[in-house]
C-alpha cells in the first residue's frame, strides 16, 4: 500500500507541476497580449493626435511671424500700401458663427429631444432621422447654393444673416443625432424617479434628463461648431466677403475663411503670409472656444452633481 500511495503522490505531484507550468505559460501569454494591445492603443492614439499637432506646428511656423497688433486691429490694405490686417474678418466670422449657433443649436437639441423622448414609434420620427442623416451628408457647397437661391436672391443682397443661416442648417443634423444618442444613454430609472415625484414629463425632460446628458450634448454642439467654423463654400454664396467693417447683418460681411481663401490665391507673398496667419488664427479661435465651452460645461456638471 505504501508503494501504491507513493506512486499516487508522485503522479499527483507531476500533474500539479504540469498544471503549474501551463498556468505560467498562460500568464506569460496573457501578459504579452496585454502589452501588445496596450502599445497598439498607444500607437492608434498617436496616429490620431499626430496630424493635429503637425498641422498646428506647421501653421505656427508659417503664420506666427505675420501676427501683430495690426493684424488684429486694422482692415486689409491694397498690396501697394503694405501692412493691414484681418480685424474685419475676425469680427465678421464671430458674427456669422453667433447667428449659426443661435439657429442650429436650439433646433438641433429640440429635434433630438423629440426623437428620444416623444417620437418612439411615430412615422414623423423616422422621417426626421432620415432627413438629419441625409442633411449631414450633403456637401457644404450645395447648402450654400440653396441659401443663395432661398435667401440672397429674395433679399437682393449678400449678408451675414444668409451665411449664418447656411452654417446653422449644417449644424442641425450633428446636434440632433448627438442629442438623441446622449439622451438614449440616460437610464429609464432616472425618468421614472422624476415622474414618480409628480413632475410633468416636459419638466422632467428639461430639468432631469437633459441635465444628466448635458456633457455629451455640449460635446455634440462643439463638434458641430468646429465643423462649420472653417467652411468657405457656403460663405462664397452668402456672405461674399468685404474689405470693410461689418455694419449690418443684412450686408456683405468679411469672414476669416473667405479672407484666407482670397489671400491664399494671391500672387503676392505678403498676402500669402497673411493667409497663413489667418489660418493659424482660425484654428486657435476654434480651439479656444471649444476649450472654454468644455471648461464651463464641466464646472456646471460638477455643481449639478454636488
| Residue pLDDT, tens place only, 68-90 | 899 999 999 888 787 789 999 99
Q: Look at residue 302 and tell me whether its pLDDT is greater than 50.
A: no
Structural domain for 268, as ranges: 69-305
pTM here? Answer: 0.82
Domain annotation covers residue 57: no
Domain annotation covers residue 61: no
**What's the number of domains the chain is made of?**
2
Continuous H helices in the chain: 2-63, 69-73, 87-113, 123-137, 140-147, 153-155, 160-184, 188-196, 201-204, 210-212, 214-229, 233-237, 256-264, 269-305
Q: Is 29 helix (H, G, I), strand (E, B) or coil?
A: helix
Q: Are 81 and 46 in the same domain? A: no
Q: Are 114 and 24 in the same domain? A: no
Domain annotation covers residue 62: no
Domain annotation covers residue 177: yes
d(CA 202, CA 196): 14
Continuous H helices in 64-152: 69-73, 87-113, 123-137, 140-147
pLDDT for the residue numbered 305: 46
Q: What is the pLDDT of residues 103-137, one digit of tens each?
A: 999 999 999 999 999 988 889 999 999 999 999 98
pLDDT for the residue numbered 304: 43
Domain annotation covers residue 99: yes
Mean pLDDT of the region 261-290: 90
Q: Are 39 and 77 in the same domain? A: no
- Evaluated on CA atoms 231, 236, 237, 240, the torsion sign reads positive
Count CB atoms within 10 A of the CB of residue 235. 31
Q: Are 97 and 188 in the same domain? A: yes
Q: Look at residue 178 and tell me whether its pLDDT is greater than 50.
A: yes
Quote the distance between the C-alpha of residue 154 and its chain's center: 32
Q: Is 28 helix (H, G, I), strand (E, B) or coil?
A: helix
Beta bridge partners of 240: 253
Amino acid at each position: 500500500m505504501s508503494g501504491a500511495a507513493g506512486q499516487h503522490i508522485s503522479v499527483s505531484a507531476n500533474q500539479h507541476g504540469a498544471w503549474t507550468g501551463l498556468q505560467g505559460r498562460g500568464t506569460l501569454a496573457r501578459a504579452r497580449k496585454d502589452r501588445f494591445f496596450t502599445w497598439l492603443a498607444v500607437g492608434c492614439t498617436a496616429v490620431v493626435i499626430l496630424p493635429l499637432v503637425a498641422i498646428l506646428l506647421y501653421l505656427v511656423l508659417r503664420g506666427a511671424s505675420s501676427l501683430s497688433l495690426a493684424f488684429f486691429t486694422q482692415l486689409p490694405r491694397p498690396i501697394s500700401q503694405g501692412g493691414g490686417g484681418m480685424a474685419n474678418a475676425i469680427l465678421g466670422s464671430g458674427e456669422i458663427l453667433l447667428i449659426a449657433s443661435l439657429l442650429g443649436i436650439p433646433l438641433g437639441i429640440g429635434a433630438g429631444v423629440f426623437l428620444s423622448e416623444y417620437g418612439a414609434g411615430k412615422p414623423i420620427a423616422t422621417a426626421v432621422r432620415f432627413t438629419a442623416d441625409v442633411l449631414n451628408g450633403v456637401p457644404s457647397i450645395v447648402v450654400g447654393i440653396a441659401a443663395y437661391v432661398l435667401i440672397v436672391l429674395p433679399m437682393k443682397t449678400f449678408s451675414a444673416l444668409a451665411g449664418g443661416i447656411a452654417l446653422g442648417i449644417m449644424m442641425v443634423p450633428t446636434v440632433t443625432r448627438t442629442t438623441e444618442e446622449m439622451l438614449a444613454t440616460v437610464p429609464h430609472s432616472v425618468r421614472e424617479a422624476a415622474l414618480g415625484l409628480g413632475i410633468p414629463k416636459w419638466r422632467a425632460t428639461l430639468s432631469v434628463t437633459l441635465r444628466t446628458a448635458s456633457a455629451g450634448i455640449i460635446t455634440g454642439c462643439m463638434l458641430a461648431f468646429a465643423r462649420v467654423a472653417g467652411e468657405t463654400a457656403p460663405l462664397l454664396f452668402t456672405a461674399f466677403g468685404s474689405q470693410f467693417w461689418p455694419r449690418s447683418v443684412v450686408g456683405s460681411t468679411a469672414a476669416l475663411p473667405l479672407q484666407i481663401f482670397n489671400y491664399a490665391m494671391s500672387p503676392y507673398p505678403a498676402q500669402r503670409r497673411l493667409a497663413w496667419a489667418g489660418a493659424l488664427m482660425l484654428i486657435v479661435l476654434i480651439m479656444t472656444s471649444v476649450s472654454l465651452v468644455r471648461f464651463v460645461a464641466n464646472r456646471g456638471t460638477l455643481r449639478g452633481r454636488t
